[in-house]
């Protein structure tokens, strides 16, 4: 499903780079995998996200929601279900030139609505930006409060023995 959205300007956001381009929100399709992987791996190269492979993207592409400006992918985020009541927000990324325009919040609203549609009652995330999640109603928690299955990605992380990400949780 594709939805055309209007990002509301606010005093806390910078002016949009391209005011006349309609933004659309859509569920990712397999053809989007390379673009999503490139966006995520831009941040992974800086050590602030886990890198994703083409195989991982193909395997998990249905988890992703995207924002496009015209033909350009400018934001993504994934909702990964762990149980009938819990899910993880993953791979939340905004193209650097489009940061500070509310796109991260827009993707989060889409993912939270999808989680509610599935009957999920708690969402969690691992992040280096806890302030962003706090503004959206998440609270910092101990990692032990989260499903053990969520740690499977941690096993592949180069920071596994010295993880500095912050665990955040929101009850819906």
pLDDT band (50, 70, 90) for residue 160: low
CA distance linking residue 135 with residue 152, whole number of Å? 28
Per-residue model confidence as pLDDT tens digits over 1-23: 555 555 554 455 555 555 667 88
Per-residue model confidence as pLDDT tens digits over 138-152: 999 987 777 655 556
For 150, residues 6+ apart whose C-beta sits below 8 A from its C-beta are: 82, 88, 124, 126
- Domain map of the chain by residue range? 2-7+21-171
In terms of Cα–Cα distance, which of 120, 123, 114 is closest to 150?
Answer: 123
Count other Cβ atoms within 10 Å, centred on residue 65.
23
Reported pTM: 0.85
2-7+21-171: CATH architecture: 3-Layer(aba) Sandwich (3.40)
In terms of Cα–Cα distance, which of 7, 24, 23 is closest to 15?
Answer: 7
């Amino acid at each position: 499903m594709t939805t055309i959205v209007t990002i509301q300007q606010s005093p806390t956001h910078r002016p949009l780079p391209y005011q006349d381009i309609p933004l659309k929100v859509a569920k990712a399709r397999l053809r989007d995998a390379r673009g999503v992987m490139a966006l995520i791996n831009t941040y992974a190269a800086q050590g602030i996200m886990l890198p994703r492979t083409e195989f991982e993207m193909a395997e998990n592409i249905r988890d992703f929601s995207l924002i496009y400006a015209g033909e350009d992918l400018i934001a993504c985020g994934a909702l990964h279900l762990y149980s009938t009541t819990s899910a993880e927000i993953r791979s939340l990324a905004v193209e650097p030139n489009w940061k500070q325009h509310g796109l991260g919040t827009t993707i989060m609203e889409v993912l939270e609505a999808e989680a509610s549609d599935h009957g999920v009652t708690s969402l969690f995330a691992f992040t280096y930006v806890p302030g962003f999640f706090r503004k959206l109603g998440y609270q910092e928690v101990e990692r032990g409060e989260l499903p053990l299955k969520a740690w499977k990605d941690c096993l592949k992380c180069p920071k596994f023995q010295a993880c500095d990400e912050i665990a955040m949780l929101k009850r819906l």
